[in-house]
Chain A
Amino acid sequence: MTAQPIYGLMAQFDTPTDLVHAAKAAYDDGYRKMDTYTPYPLEEAAEAIGVHHNRVPLVCLVGAMLGMIGGYSLEYWVSAISYPLNVGGKPFHSWPAFIPVTFECAVLGASLAVVFGMLALNGLPQPYHPVFNVPSFTGATTDKFFLCIESQDPRFSIGETKRFLEGQHPLEVAEVPY
C-alpha cells in the first residue's frame, strides 16, 4: 500500500446481477459514498446505492414557468404597450391569440432547462475524473459493470474495503488514483 491518497477502490463485474448484489451488500455494510458505472441505465443499481429522486423535474417546472411568463409578457408588451396597433378591430390585449406562442415558449423554456439542468446537476462537461485512471474502465461504456467505493466514505479503509469488495465475486478490484 502506498501512502498516496486515492480516490477510491473500484470493483469490476461481468453481469448487472453481480453488480447489483455487490452494491446492495455495500449499502447494507454501511457504505454511502459510492457509485456504480454501467453501460446503460440500470435502475436497480441506482436503487441499491440509495439514489431515488433528483431535481430535474423541479428545474423543468421552473424553466416552463419562466418560458410561459416570458412569452406572454413579450406578446402583451409588444402588442398593447410598446406599439399598440389596431389589426382588424381586435383588442390590443387579444389573450386567446397569445396562447400558442405562450405554449411554445413554455415548452422551449422547459426543454432548455431540462437539458442544461441535467448536465449542470451531473457536473458535465467534466474534462477530468479520477475513475478514468483505471485502465479497464473503458469497459464501463461497453459491457462491464463497476462499483467504486470512495475514500471519502467514513467507513473506508484500504485493507478492509478491498477485502469486502473481493468477497463480492468481482473480475478485478483496482485502486483509483487521483
Chain B
Amino acid sequence: MPRIEEEIDVLPPQGVRPPLIGPGQTLRTVTDRIGGVVLEKHTPVFWLLVVALCVALFGMLNTAIAYLLGKGVGIWGVNIPVGWGFAIVNFVWWIGIGHAGTLISAILLLFKQGWRTSINRFAEAMTIFAVMQAGLFPLLHTGRPWLAAYWLFPIPFTMGVWPQFRSPLIWDVFAVSTYFTVSFLFWGIGLIPDFATLRDSAKSLVVRRIYGMLAMGWRGSARHWNRFETAYMLLAGLATPLVLSVHSVVSLDFAVALVPGWHTTFFPPYFVAGAIYSGFAMVLMLAIPFRYLYGMQDYITLRHLQNCAKLMLATGLIVAYAYTLEMFIGWYSNEKNELALVHNRLHGPYSHYYFTLVFCNILFPQTLWLNKVRSTPWMLFIVSMVVQTGMWLERFVIVVLSLNRDFLPTNWGMYWFTKWDMMTLIGTMGFFTLLFFLFIRFMPPISIFEIRTLLPQSKVKE
C-alpha cells in the first residue's frame, strides 16, 4: 500500500510564513526519506496504476503517430486556411510548460531563493519531459520526420541546399534544441552527488553498481565541490537568458508574419510571461499530488505552494495586461484587418473559445488573491488545472483565430480538429506523465544535497 500520511498542513495565521522545511529534520533523515522513495523495494500500488494508464495512453500516441506516418498529415484537421492547427498549438503549450522549471532552477538560484531547493529537481525533470513532447509536434507536422533532419539542421547532403537562417522557424530549431540540451545538462550534473548518495545507501549490490556508474565516482571532495558549485552557477547564468530567448523566438514564429493578431512587437514578453504562467500551473499540478502520495509535506511545504501561487498570480496579471493590450491596439490601429480580428475574436465562430480563455486565464485565477486558496492544496490544484486549460486555449486562439479569417474573405474557412489530433494531444499527456512517474521511481525527485544545505546543523559555527 502507498504510504499516504495524514495531511499535516494547517492553515497558518494571516501574515505568518510557514517554514521552508518541516521540523526535526537531520542530515540522516533527509537522506533516508528522499532516497527511500527510490530505494524502497515495494513499488506503491498507485504508481503501478498510474503507469499502467500512461502506458496505455503512450500506446495510443504511437498508434496515432504510426497512422499519421502511413497516411500523411491529411488525417489531422489542418488545411487551408488553417495550416498550423493542433500541432503548433500543442508545441507552444508544451514548450511553455517547461519554462517554469528553468525559472525555478536557474533564475531563482541566481536570486538566492532558498525555497527553490525542494522543487527544483522535479521542475527540471518537468522541463525536459515537456520539451520532449513539444519537439514531437513540429517534427510530425512536417509529415516526413525522417526528411526533417536536413530541413531543420544544416546537414550537408547531395542537393546542397541549406536551412534559411533569416527565418525565425530555423532560430526555433536552434533555440529549442539548445534549451533541451542545456536543461538536460543542468539536471544531469545536479543528479551526480545524489546518485553518489544512493550508491552509498543502497542495500542491493546491483542497485549500488547502477547508481555507482551514474555517480561516476563522486566522492564529495572539497576541490570537486568547488568546481561543481562554479559550474552550477555558470549554468544558471547561461540558462537564464536562454529560457527568455526560447519563448521569445517561439513568439517570433508568429510576430514576424504579417497576419493580423500575430504581427505585434510585444509578443516576446507576452509569450514568456504566459509560458511561466502555465509552467507554474504544471509545477503545482505535479507537486501537490507528489507531496501527498509520498508524504513529502516536510520538504514541499505550504510555503512552496504559496510562492508558486504568487508567481502564478503575478505572471497571470501580465498575461491579462497583454490580452487587454491586444484588444486595445486592434481598436487603436484603426486598421480594418486588425479591427476584423478583434471582431472575429468577440463575435466570430470561435468566440466561445475566446470567452472561455478569458474566464480561465484572467477571471478565475483572481481567486489566488485569497490566502485561503493559496494555502489549500486542493484548491490550488483546481486553479492550476483551469489555468492550464486557459493557456492551451490561448494558443488555440492565437493560431486558429488569426488564420481562419485573414485579409481576403474568399480565403475564410473553419478549422475542425479530428480524433487523431485529440489522440496525439492526450497521448503526449500520457507520455509526459509516464516519464515523470518513471523519474520519481528511479531518481531522487528532490535534490538531497541541496536540501541538506538548508538544515541548521549544516552550517559551520564559529
**8 A Cβ contacts from B155-204 to A:** 160-166, 168, 170-171, 174-175, 178, 181-182, 185-186, 188-189, 192-193, 196-197, 199-201
Contact between A16 and B459 (Cβ–Cβ < 8 Å)? yes
Contact between A101 and B230 (Cβ–Cβ < 8 Å)? no
Contact between A42 and B222 (Cβ–Cβ < 8 Å)? yes
Q: Which residues of B contact A90 (CB under 8 A)?
A: 166
Additional 12 contacts, C-beta under 8 A, given A60-B238, A121-B227: A35-B223, A39-B452, A40-B193, A56-B234, A57-B230, A82-B162, A107-B238, A107-B242, A108-B181, A110-B238, A115-B185, A137-B219
For residue B151, CB closer than 8 A to chain A, the reply is no
Minimum CB–CB distance for B190 against chain A, Å: 11
Q: Which residues of A contact B218 (CB under 8 A)?
A: 124, 141
For residue B3, CB closer than 8 A to chain A, the reply is no
Q: Which residues of B contact A126 (CB under 8 A)?
A: 216-217
Q: Which residues of B contact A132 (CB under 8 A)?
A: 219
Contact between A115 and B235 (Cβ–Cβ < 8 Å)? yes
Q: Which residues of A contact B175 (CB under 8 A)?
A: 100, 104
**How many angstroms from the CA of A37 to the CA of B219 in the assembled complex?**
7
For residue A15, CB closer than 8 A to chain B, the reply is yes
Contact between A141 and B197 (Cβ–Cβ < 8 Å)? yes
A: interface residue count bin: 35 or more
- List, sorted by A's number, 23 A–B pairs whose CB atoms are closer than 8 Å: A20-B460, A37-B219, A40-B193, A40-B452, A41-B449, A78-B163, A78-B165, A83-B162, A87-B166, A100-B171, A101-B165, A101-B170, A104-B175, A110-B234, A111-B182, A121-B227, A124-B192, A127-B217, A131-B219, A141-B193, A141-B197, A142-B31, A142-B197
Contact between A104 and B171 (Cβ–Cβ < 8 Å)? yes
**How many angstroms from the CA of A45 to the CA of B220 in the assembled complex?**
12
Minimum CB–CB distance for B462 against chain A, Å: 8
Contact between A78 and B174 (Cβ–Cβ < 8 Å)? no
A residues whose Cβ falls under 8 Å from a Cβ of B: 15-17, 20, 35-46, 49, 51, 54, 56-57, 60, 71, 74-75, 78-79, 82-83, 85, 87-88, 90, 94, 97-98, 100-101, 103-105, 107-108, 110-112, 114-115, 117-119, 121-122, 124-129, 131-132, 137-143
For residue B326, CB closer than 8 A to chain A, the reply is no
**How many angstroms from the CA of A100 to the CA of B165 in the assembled complex?**
10
Q: Of all chain B residues, which has the CB nearest A76?
A: B165
Contact between B234 and A97 (Cβ–Cβ < 8 Å)? no
**How many angstroms from the CA of A71 to the CA of B186 in the assembled complex?**
22
Which of A44, A71, A141 lies in contact with B460, CB distance below 8 A?
A44
Contact between A40 and B160 (Cβ–Cβ < 8 Å)? no
Contact between B178 and A108 (Cβ–Cβ < 8 Å)? yes
**How many angstroms from the CA of A38 to the CA of B219 in the assembled complex?**
8
For residue B457, CB closer than 8 A to chain A, the reply is yes
Given contacts A39-B197, A108-B181, A118-B230, contact A49 B222 (CB under 8 A): yes
For residue B413, CB closer than 8 A to chain A, the reply is no
Minimum CB–CB distance for B296 against chain A, Å: 19
- Which of the listed residues A17, A100, A139 has the most CB atoms from chain B within 10 Å of its own CB? A100
Ordered nearest first, which 5 A-B pairs have the shortest CB separation?
Answer: A143-B27, A125-B216, A126-B217, A118-B231, A138-B200
**How many angstroms from the CA of A112 to the CA of B160 in the assembled complex?**
29
Which of B185, B221, B245 lies in contact with A37, CB distance below 8 A?
B221
For residue B41, CB closer than 8 A to chain A, the reply is no
Contact between B227 and A142 (Cβ–Cβ < 8 Å)? no
Q: Which residues of B contact A51 (CB under 8 A)?
A: 222-223, 226
Given contacts A46-B222, A82-B160, A126-B216, contact A143 B166 (CB under 8 A): no
Minimum CB–CB distance for A140 against chain B, Å: 5
Which of A49, A127, A141 lies in contact with B196, CB distance below 8 A?
A141
Given contacts A16-B459, A100-B174, A111-B185, contact A36 B238 (CB under 8 A): no
Contact between A104 and B185 (Cβ–Cβ < 8 Å)? no
Contact between B220 and A101 (Cβ–Cβ < 8 Å)? no
Contact between B231 and A56 (Cβ–Cβ < 8 Å)? yes
For residue B42, CB closer than 8 A to chain A, the reply is no
**How many angstroms from the CA of A77 to the CA of B216 in the assembled complex?**
40
**How many angstroms from the CA of A14 to the CA of B223 in the assembled complex?**
20
Contact between B220 and A111 (Cβ–Cβ < 8 Å)? no
Contact between B28 and A103 (Cβ–Cβ < 8 Å)? no
Contact digits for B206-225, partner A, Cβ 8 Å, 1 yes 0 no: 00000000001111111111
Contact digits for B133-160, partner A, Cβ 8 Å, 1 yes 0 no: 0000000000000000000001000001
Contact digits for B434-453, partner A, Cβ 8 Å, 1 yes 0 no: 00000000000000011011
For residue B265, CB closer than 8 A to chain A, the reply is no
Q: Which residues of A contact B164 (CB under 8 A)?
A: 85, 87
Minimum CB–CB distance for B29 against chain A, Å: 9
Contact between B241 and A107 (Cβ–Cβ < 8 Å)? yes
Q: Which residues of A contact B241 (CB under 8 A)?
A: 103, 107
**How many angstroms from the CA of A57 to the CA of B166 in the assembled complex?**
32
**How many angstroms from the CA of A30 to the CA of B242 in the assembled complex?**
46
Contact between A37 and B162 (Cβ–Cβ < 8 Å)? no
Q: Of all chain A residues, which has the CB nearest B200?
A: A138
For residue B367, CB closer than 8 A to chain A, the reply is no
Minimum CB–CB distance for A111 against chain B, Å: 5
**How many angstroms from the CA of A128 to the CA of B27 in the assembled complex?**
26
Contact between A104 and B174 (Cβ–Cβ < 8 Å)? yes
For residue B350, CB closer than 8 A to chain A, the reply is no
